[in-house]
Amino acid sequence: MSAERIDGKAFAARLRERVGALAAEFETQAGRKAGLAVVLVGEDPASDVYVRSKNKATLAANMESFEHRLPADTSEADLLALVERLNADEAVDGILVQLPLPGHLDEQAIIEAIAPDKDVDGFHVINAGKLSVGRSGFVPCTPLGCMMLLADRLGDLSGLEAVVIGRSNIVGKPMAQLLLDANATVTIAHSRTKNLPDVVRRADIVVAAVGRPEMVRADWLKDGATVIDVGINRLAPETGADKGRLVGDVAFEEASARAGAITPVPGGVGPMTIAVLLRNTLVAAHRNAGLEVPEGL
C-alpha cells in the first residue's frame, strides 16, 4: 500500500488565495496595502531566486513589495541603518532579511535589529522566547507550514508521538515547540542521537529537517507514520542519472511503501514557506494598524 501524498503545493495555493482575499479587505479597512520589505545582500543565485519568488507572491496577494538589493560589500552599519529605516516606515509591516548573509556580517545582530512586531520570519529572540512560553508572536514560516499540513491531515495531534530530526533555530526547535503546544509527545533527535532509527521508529509523526539527502529510510518508520520532509538537497553530479535531482531528507519512494502519508520533495513543505510568510505579513499588518486579526489566518 502506498502512502497518501501530502500536497503542500495545493494547500499553499489555497492559503495564498485566502490571504489575498483578506489582504484586499485589509486595504479597504486600513486605507493602504499590507507591506513586506525584503532585503538581499550580495548576489547568491539561490537567494536571488527566493527573493524574486517572494516579490511575485507578495504582489499576487494584494500586498506591497519593497525590495532592497545591496552589494555584497555592504557594511554592517549600512545594513543596520536600512533595517532601522524599515522599522520606522509605517508602510512596511514585515521585514525579511534574506539569509545567508555575506561572511563579514553578523546575522544574529541583523535579525535582532528587526522590530519584533515586523519580524515575519519569526527569528528574533523575542519571538523565539514567546513561542517557548506559549505567548503570541511570530513563528518561523517553515515549521508553521508543517503544522498546518499535519493539522489538515491528522486533525487533533493530542497524545501522538512525534520525532523531529534536526535541532536548528529555524526549523527543528520551533517545530518541536509547536508540536508540544498541540499536545504531542515530542523527541528532538539529530545526527548524533544514539540508535537514531530506533528512536524514529517509535513516532506517529516524523519531521525530517537534518539536511542530509535521503537519510531517513523506510525501515526507520513505524507502519502508517505521517512523514513531513523539510529537507531539500540537490544531488551531486557524480550520481549519474540522478544528476542535479532534488531530494529530501527522506528516501521518498521506499518510505512511501511504509508511511501512511508523506510530503514529496519538491511540492511538499517548500511551497508552504512563502504562503506562511504572506500570512504572517498580513497578521503583522492587522496588528500594526490596530485591527483585529481575521479568523482563519
Which residues are catalytically annotated?
A: 54, 98, 121
* DSSP 8-class letter at 256: H
| Whole-Å CA distances, 248 to 27, 65, 104, 132, 244 | 39, 30, 30, 28, 13
8 A C-beta contact, residue 134 and residue 176: no
**Which residue shows C-alpha cell 507550514?**
145
Q: Give residues with Cβ within 8 angstroms of 159, minimum separation 6.
A: 183, 184, 185
| Whole-Å CA distances, 288 to 35, 76, 83, 117, 203 | 11, 27, 17, 8, 40
Instruction: Tell me, rounded to whole angstroms, the distance of Cα 290 from its chain centroid.
Output: 26
| Whole-Å CA distances, 219 to 92, 112, 197, 216, 247 | 48, 42, 8, 8, 18
Local structure of 163: helix, strand or coil: strand
Question: How far, in Å, CA of 82 to CA of 137, rounded?
Answer: 23
8 A C-beta contact, residue 267 and residue 10: no
Alpha-carbon dihedral sign for residues 140, 200, 254, 204: negative
- How many Cβ atoms from other residues are within 10 Å of residue 243's Cβ? 11
- Residue 100, preceding peptide bond in cis (omega within 30° of 0): yes
